[in-house]
Amino acid sequence: MKHIVILTGAGISAESGLKTFRDSDGLWEGYNIEDVATPEAWARNPVLVQQFYNERRKSVLEAQPNAAHYALAKLEEKYKVTIITQNIDDLHERAGSTNVVHLHGIINRSQSSKNQKLTYPINGWEIKMDEVCELGSPLRPHVVWFGEDVPMIARAMNICAEADIFILIGSSLAVYPAAGLIGYVSSGATKYIIDPKIPTVYNLSGVIKIEAKASAAVPQLVEELINDHR
């Protein structure tokens, strides 16, 4: 069974009403990244950071998967599929995908601020400031902030190297180390990029570029791949 590896970015979630990570003005939901998405921000003003992610979590819970998410789940009928996502929402899982690697964590879990391996499900949309882990340290969002290691990156590199077909969806390839993953894909793999604005990819030939929104292009590509398999 051929292995399809899919790397998704903020563009696929934007069509479900979730803001892309960084707008053209450099802000995320009106905030400077440095004020809400770094370990220093948490040390400086944990109440602001917690409030920011509680609001993001509320938005995620209210959002619904779109046609692109559902189409990717359908691929599992004919292929081995691994989705590597830069997104912190759970829309892939809610659409039915069963093998999802979250590079930057997932917002509906909390994490010990002392030991990143201690994570917990969140009941509802809010982490309260008096909630602590089993070590007694405050709970924070289970999200990788700027300046922190990306624990899943080595696993993601190995997965990309195994791809027979690689599909990049809705990513500007601006955030590293995730942006470097495409470099681990075998030269013999079939490669697709889907985005309204195709990012520049250096030293990579034979890429099929589909300049369109994910909700329109992904279902169409999935149908083609499933028909090819018959």
Q: Which of 3, 104, 142, 229 is catalytic?
A: 104
Angle at 205 between CA 200 and CA 210, to 5 degrees: 60
Give the three-class secondary structure for 4.
strand
State the Cα–Cα distance between residues 230 and 225, nearest whole angstrom: 9
Q: Is 48 exposed, middle or buried (0-12, 13-18, 19+ CB in 10 A)?
A: middle
Phi then psi dihedrals of residue 68, to 5 deg: -70, -45
69 a catalytic residue: no
CB 104 within 8 A of CB 143: yes
> Hey, which residues are catalytic here?
104
